[in-house]
Chain A
């Protein structure tokens, strides 16, 4: 299979240092097109740091990052969205004073062609483009079941709704890969199963690849096809959730002894 031969996202030997601290240590990772891949590990394991390397907010001190055959490290931060990489943030970071609809329109920035002049004096194609973008955004909100928020100011929504809008904003980019940074944090346990179901559905319907950071093991177990466990920037185990999470090294890292994987909840700080 060619997909297995050339993964969508290829992380090779990535090392990140903050001063003397090694946040990620010579990490290799390959995410295949169309899979749901979870990255787990204790706080400070380097998960968000890896996401930031992919987004371009952190520069690795060694290694390479390739997305769909393109060398990411050669691209500016704002040029990665156009490749089809979208993400959510732990602290959501919506464009708070905009309406939800405008948040989704802003996410389409890389695909829209309107220039300064056609923005100043929209004619013909510019108007049509704007109309298409709005229709697409409303359509997506409909699909996610949050069409009623379309004209609300994003910053005034309850936290749970903001997280959902954050996902909608990422999907509005029409991405190939979505980086989800703790989407289930703060989500009522009752909704986790539904969210897992939705992730799979979006993957199938929209042809997406998900790279997921998550502490909620129920979500990871039910949705991820492969899991990579990180600890102190090193890969402890990788594979199907059942195997990877039962790996002795993983159990050691989490509990210091055998048992099950239980992860501390609520902390947001990340190396």
Chain B
């Protein structure tokens, strides 16, 4: 009986997996480095208030306040990343929940006199509930359609908040009843830091679990995910809800941080910030969420430090008018050189020893 002939055979399944770096290289780029970095980062975060007081003196509190914002950004980035980077749903609607969280905390704690922790929790719960109501139908559409439809949500939320403000006759929804714990720069920094740390810790656990695997399975192959029993509809909705709740939390903290809620919290600009963070940092990467928040949060601060006007010989440039453009250019360069996000630089470092060792192979 004739049998089929193979024209070309792929490598046998006995090929060894990519060799792992050993010895000192492991120390430099392996798991121990990650641990050391995490410990170092934690220590730095805890000591930052003291360091800032030393460096900036009176302005220390003000500078610290700006760092607090980066933690809030990181929360929002993580929320967007769970939905977009892990469960692969390109929703642009998170800014709607950001505003919702802010306005709810202002209303519940400011006008209704509820304790702040209750207000924050309710803001999260309400965001999750509205996430269910909105997410169910929204996930019927996919891809670019989902992106633009959810962008519509942001517009609706933004104009409703604006409408509320105009009707009541205020510019924005100020919060005047903050306790010292949430209004002074130093305690607020620690409160936000602890919340951020808790969310990232719980989130990392979740992403390593059955739920997180189901999300990544949907991203990698929806067909295979279904064939292996993943209820994709349920898990997409779950990602939408978790993301909405976390964004609501971030919005509530933002309103507390700014001591006011504003309809621009639900705007295209805010959406752009969330998306830039995860795309620059790295889709589907926890570290990426943090790096993205640092990039988006720090860069404008650093650019703001540039002397203005700057003179080169007889040539003078009003730098302050260019910061947005420089920021955009750096964002663009980051995307061109790290299309998989800044977090991919870690993998680059990790595989560097191997590639250096085999240098001279394929040029």
Direct contact of A and B (CB under 8 A): yes
**Interface on A for B, CB 8 Å cutoff?**
55-57, 76-82, 86-87, 89, 93-98, 102, 105-107, 109-110, 112, 114, 116, 119-122, 130, 146, 148-149, 151-152, 156-161, 163-164, 169, 173, 186-189, 191, 215-218, 221, 245, 260-263, 265-266
Given contacts A95-B224, A109-B229, A169-B228, 19 further A-B contacts (CB under 8 A): A77-B226, A77-B227, A87-B227, A93-B221, A114-B211, A116-B206, A119-B209, A120-B202, A120-B209, A157-B17, A158-B15, A173-B228, A173-B229, A186-B10, A189-B5, A217-B3, A263-B4, A265-B4, A266-B7
Q: How many residues of B contact A (CB 8 A)?
A: 42
What are 30 A-B contacts defined by CB distance under 8 Å? Answer: A77-B226, A78-B226, A81-B228, A86-B227, A89-B227, A93-B221, A93-B224, A94-B221, A95-B221, A95-B225, A97-B284, A102-B213, A106-B214, A109-B214, A119-B209, A119-B211, A119-B212, A120-B202, A121-B205, A122-B209, A148-B16, A149-B17, A158-B11, A163-B13, A169-B228, A186-B9, A188-B9, A189-B6, A189-B9, A265-B5
Q: Which of B11, B16, B202, B228 has the most CB of A within 10 A?
A: B228
**Interface on B for A, CB 8 Å cutoff?**
1-7, 9-13, 15-18, 202, 205-206, 209-214, 216-217, 219-221, 223-232, 238, 284
| Cα distance A120–B203 in the bound complex, in angstroms | 7
Q: Binding site of B, secondary structure by majority: helix, strand, loop or mixed?
A: loop
| Cα distance A14–B46 in the bound complex, in angstroms | 66
Are B210's CB and A109's CB within 8 A? yes
Neighbour of B220 across the interface among A96, A114, A116, A186, CB < 8 A: A96
Are A95's CB and B220's CB within 8 A? yes
Are B3's CB and A78's CB within 8 A? no
Are B232's CB and A78's CB within 8 A? yes
Are A216's CB and B228's CB within 8 A? no
Are B3's CB and A160's CB within 8 A? no
| Cα distance A190–B311 in the bound complex, in angstroms | 74
- Find chain A residues with CB under 8 A from B284 CB: 97
CB distance from B90 to the nearest CB of A (A): 17
Are A215's CB and B209's CB within 8 A? no
Are B1's CB and A217's CB within 8 A? yes
| Cα distance A263–B226 in the bound complex, in angstroms | 32
Q: Which of A106, A149, A151, A245 has the most CB of B within 10 A?
A: A106
Known A119-B210, A169-B228; contact A156-B6, beta-carbon cutoff 8 A: no
CB distance from B188 to the nearest CB of A (A): 26
Are B228's CB and A86's CB within 8 A? yes
Are A114's CB and B13's CB within 8 A? no
- Find chain B residues with CB under 8 A from A77 CB: 226-227
| Cα distance A73–B159 in the bound complex, in angstroms | 46
Q: Kindly report which residue of chain A lies nearest to residue B203, judged by CB atoms.
A: A120
Neighbour of B210 across the interface among A95, A114, A160, A260, CB < 8 A: A114
- Find chain B residues with CB under 8 A from A102 CB: 213, 216
Are A160's CB and B1's CB within 8 A? no
- Find chain A residues with CB under 8 A from B210 CB: 105, 109, 112, 114, 119
CB distance from B79 to the nearest CB of A (A): 15
| Cα distance A92–B334 in the bound complex, in angstroms | 33
| Cα distance A148–B20 in the bound complex, in angstroms | 12
Are A89's CB and B223's CB within 8 A? yes
Neighbour of A119 across the interface among B5, B18, B205, CB < 8 A: B205
- Find chain B residues with CB under 8 A from A81 CB: 227-229
Q: Which of B15, B16, B18, B220 has the most CB of A within 10 A?
A: B220
CB distance from A13 to the nearest CB of B (A): 24
| Cα distance A204–B221 in the bound complex, in angstroms | 31
Known A78-B232, A146-B13, A160-B12; contact A120-B6, beta-carbon cutoff 8 A: no
